[in-house]
Amino acid sequence: MTACWHAPLVAACLLALAPAGASEVVPLQVSGDAIGQPLHGLSGDAARGALVVRNRETGNCLICHAIPDRTERFQGEIGPPLAGVGLRLTEGQIRLRLVDPTQVNPGAIMPAYHRVSGLTNVDARHAGRPVLGAQEIEDVVAYLASLKE
């Protein structure tokens, strides 16, 4: 477990989270409660992001969240509904909450989608890899930022 879950300062977390040898993960650059810059400077595509969010194998966000789409069956209610999230949060704030929500709330239930350190007993097929790659994160950020009502 990362000691950083209990550290009061985000700065203390940054050290603990700098992933050693995790080439697939972009190093964290947090300012305040946001990651202001797109990962690797990539630009996101909202239409692709909408697919990642719905994908039951990769993002699988709908096990825990509802999105404003009545045709999707079996939406979750563990996390807040994502309708209007583009009004509530900036792109940078959304990015940090996807990359590693424990930076915002140490007890977060939502998985860190772009972090590989501090995990226990990861299945070999997924070990050392983030749930979503940098491009997928940017696509999802673009999609969520477009949810303005």
Binding site for ligand HEC (CB under 6 A): 53, 59-61, 63-65, 78-80, 82, 85, 88-89, 94, 97-98, 101, 105, 108-111, 113, 140, 144
Q: What six digits make up the tokens of 84?
A: 């209007």
Residues 52-81 that bind other proteins (CB under 8 A): 62-64, 73-78
Q: Taking CA 130 as the corner, what is the angle to CA 127 and CA 135, rounded to the nearest 5 degrees?
A: 145
71 binds, among ligand HEC, other proteins, none (CB under 5 to 8 A by kind): none
The residue (of 21 and 132) whose beta carbon lies closer to ligand HEC is: 132
Neighbouring residues of 107: CB distance < 8 A, sequence distance ≥ 6? 5
The residue (of 8 and 57) whose beta carbon lies closer to ligand HEC is: 57
> Cα–Cα distance between 100 and 72 in angstroms, integer?
26
Residue 44 and residue 144 in contact, taking contact as beta carbons nearer than 8 Å: no
Shortest Å, Cβ 52 to other proteins? 15
